Structure 1
Amino acid sequence: MTPEAPARPATGPAPQRSRGTARRGALASVLPTTALWLLALAFAFPLLWFLLSSFKPGGELFTYPLSLLPREWTAEGYGRAWAGVDFARYAGNTLLVATITTALTVLVSAATGYALAKYRAKWLSVLFVCILATTMLPTEVILSPTFAVVRQLDLYNTLAGIVVPSIVTATGIFMFRQFFQTVPDELLHAARIDGAGEFGIFFRIMLPISRPILLTLAIFSFQWRWNDYIWPLIVLNDPEKYTIQVALRSLVGAENIDWTLLLPASVISMVPLALIFVVFQRYVIGADLGAGLKD
């Protein structure tokens, strides 16, 4: 008997099905992508208008019809803003407050989150619930008691009065606790067997592997402190100690606003935040939690 020839696989409908599936997948991805681009443009358009308006002379800001691009480009407002607002002093005050507060916030949040995630005690769970409960309180509710404490500590009209109440943040503690809970306990047990102490485990193991959370909280904390307005306005009374946002508010008069000065000054105040985001965003990456473990 002659052997039968092997049956050939049917190849007709398969490419059509694959092309149809690819076409539907491409169509399904186009709609969300288009929606995201439209949303990004909706957020970017006011910022672009604000940036371009800082290069317009005063006569073009409120002319009709409005134009996005300046008809006459000028950077005179930036020179007036830098010379008249004393940006060096106010930016220095704000940088000092933001840097110290950010460093302390990251350290305290990481230590508290580590304790809440890896230590076993009933009162720690109660403490965590109390910390989370503070997020349900509006900032305006705690302004009065916080101000009273600051005055009792003789921190009124000092930069320390801005720093101290801003160190502990429930958001940072929650971020670190949730991250440290994903770290295997075997990693800590192995470190203890090798003779590492609790401080060594925290500073040499837990902090390095939590770099994504650390940098994310640092960026957010620096942004919060740089843009903070209400609390420095309440605490500070000496114009030489003003932060940059309080100084910008002082440019707004009771009857009129010099927009050709305020707009460039606001743009200058945004430059440090933009630089920080550009420099550090590439470091906010996933951590390899299994790097110190063996199968």
Structure 2
Amino acid sequence: MASPILAGKLEAEIKIKSDPDEFFHSFGDKPHHISDMSPSLVQGVELHDGDWGSVGAMQVWKYTHGKNLDLISSLFPLMRKSSWHSFKVIEGDVMELYSKTFIATVHVVVRPGARYPRKEVKKFKTIPGKAHESEGFGLFGKISEEMSLTGKQVFQIEIKSSGDVFHELFKNKPHEMSSISPDIVHGCELHHGDWGTVGSIIFWTYTHDGQKKVAKEIIESIDKEKKSVTFKVIKGDLLKLYKSFTFIVQVENHGQNNLVTWTLQYEKLNQSVPDPTTIVDLATKLTKDIETHHLK
């Protein structure tokens, strides 16, 4: 029986058109102004110790996420010179689910023709049986004035089963997943090429949000050294919502424990399409099913 996975990391990007410096300073020097910008989410931010914008300052946030909540956070340095603001939660409602640590990081990156605040590089450890991998994901992102059609989500899962075997499954034997995780994967067929080769096309049947769905994917790349496989969706149900969707599955070996990193890169068809947080849940459950199978 696999032990519960308590540590995790979630990451996503949002494209904004507003001034990046102003966005950065809103979280660093003027978080108490955010309640004026996003009153439906943030009802107030008070300074309890230190000075606004200073490392070690403690702030109390009152916000709404399903219900009215509050937290006390401490601003601390993490690559501060590179436009990062990191908040470590030390008290509040979040800690009822994430008992040990919860860190939210906002990073503003200026790119040619675009500005991206990287929302919530969340690092957390959960209480077994209470927390949900995507719980709270999107709070800081929703504060941004405008969301982009393009997005990226990165999340990591620690497993105790073999990283090499995990990589081999996605690389050469994805057709075995229906017997490992039958509630999610019902079939994986080879439509072109050979198993484990770049350019091969595979056809998945699976269940997502309680509905049976399909996806045809091409293997875009395989990195044997990094133990990474990239799948690009070319047909199927996901493309009813997303113009493009790519999965990257990577495994890092760390002795008895290994780290599985999923990267979802996508472009929505329109602004009403949600971020694929339910796909995060699906991939997380699939990863846990694979770990459980290999630990038997």
Tell me the TM-score normalised to structure 1 length. Answer: 0.23
Tell me the TM-score normalised to structure 2 length. Answer: 0.22
Structure having greater relative contact order (Cα 8 Å, sep ≥ 6): 1
Structure with the higher fraction of residues in strand conformation: 2
Structure with bigger gyration radius? 1
Structure with the higher fraction of residues in helix conformation: 1
